[in-house]
Amino acid sequence: MRRSALYSSSRPGRLSEASPAADTAPVATAPATVQPSRFSASNPRVLWAAIGLLAVLLAFTLSLSLRPGQRRLTQEDINAAVLKTMETQVLPSEYARAYDKISPSVVRVISYVKKSRLKDEKDVKNARLAPRPKALGPAAGSESGAGDDDEVEQGVGTGVVIVDKGVILTNLHVVSGADRIKVIFSDGLESVATVSGVQPENDLAVLQARTIPDDMIAATMRSTSDLAPGDKVLVVGFPFGIGPSASGGIVSGLQRVFRSPEGKQEMKNLIQFDAAANPGNSGGPLVTMDGELVGIVTAILNPTSARTFLGIGFAVPIENAAAAAGQPPF
């Protein structure tokens, strides 16, 4: 069965209905004549157009035959390109990428007390130099940054912005008993802050900054449900007032219990990590390699009076910490 052409620009010729010769021609002696179509080969224009089209097709076919065949891309080609890029381009480490993401949300927290609340000059000196009576107390301070001569710096710690309206999580022991609290954002902006909530069982405080940067960036919080021992983590803060400083390590364990050296407080369900943390890291973020917040640094284990890092730190899971700020659970 014949199939009609899908693309055709001409129609078959018809017998001329107007020709008298067609009516009188003997059927048996000669076939009927067909009037030439305007698209027939006898038309010079059509003939030259056909010749031109044929020439174009011939030239195109010849060019294809002379073109070298394109080689198919293989996995070896991809691997070689990746290796070449790694050799010629310096890529940031996982820790560097995590730091870049979390650092805009990290703040320095400084608390002050009035000298008039202290008994004598000896107490003033001790307030400046003595370590705080917490597992991870703030670094030794000075009067620099105090609002007036009647104030003395009580503690230095770290905080992390979790809501871009200036809501900050930190440790309660950093700001406990303070007459004034100051926070310094990553861009250098300083602001007075007030305590808007506390969670004493986890040594957490929620601060509200009075002034915030125009481009404030809040940390991205991540559930700890898939966190596992061996996962890489990063700690960012102001150890001994130096910073912001970053230290890397891994998750050492989950659901740990920590009792303060004084034995007055016991915290449960903590994340154990081995990234270096020292006085001044209190309240800082514990983040994954994606730069996502999974915990708030709150304590270190050191049985000596130095209370410096020996390899065991603890953080409150972000689910518990966010609850202190009224954030919904994951």
Looking at residue 42, its pLDDT comes to: 55
Beta strands in 200-309 (DSSP E): 204-209, 232-237, 245-259, 266-273, 285-287, 293-300
pTM for the full predicted model: 0.67
Q: Which CATH number is 99-324's, of 3.40.630.30, 2.40.420.20, 2.40.10.120, 2.60.200.30?
A: 2.40.10.120
Instruction: Count CB-CB contacts under 10 A for residue 146.
Output: 20
Residue in the block written with tokens 């070896």? 76
Question: If you average pLDDT over every residue of the chain, what do you get?
Answer: 79
Q: 248 near 275, Cβ under 8 Å?
A: yes
Looking at residue 191, its pLDDT comes to: 96
Q: Give φ, ψ of 61 to 5 degrees.
A: -65, -40
Residues contacting 253, CB < 8 A, separation 6+: 229, 271, 272
> pLDDT tens for residues 128-173?
444 443 334 444 343 344 455 688 888 899 999 999 999 999 999 9
Looking at residue 223, its pLDDT comes to: 93
Nearest by Cα to 278 from 250, 241, 252, 304 = 241
- The dihedral of CA 149, 152, 158, 164: what is its sign? negative
**Which residues of the chain have a pLDDT value below 70?**
1-47, 60-70, 119-149, 262-263, 328-330
CA dist 23 and 326 (Å) reads 102
Looking at residue 215, its pLDDT comes to: 92
CA dist 107 and 213 (Å) reads 12
Q: Give the catalytic positions in this structure.
A: 173, 203, 282
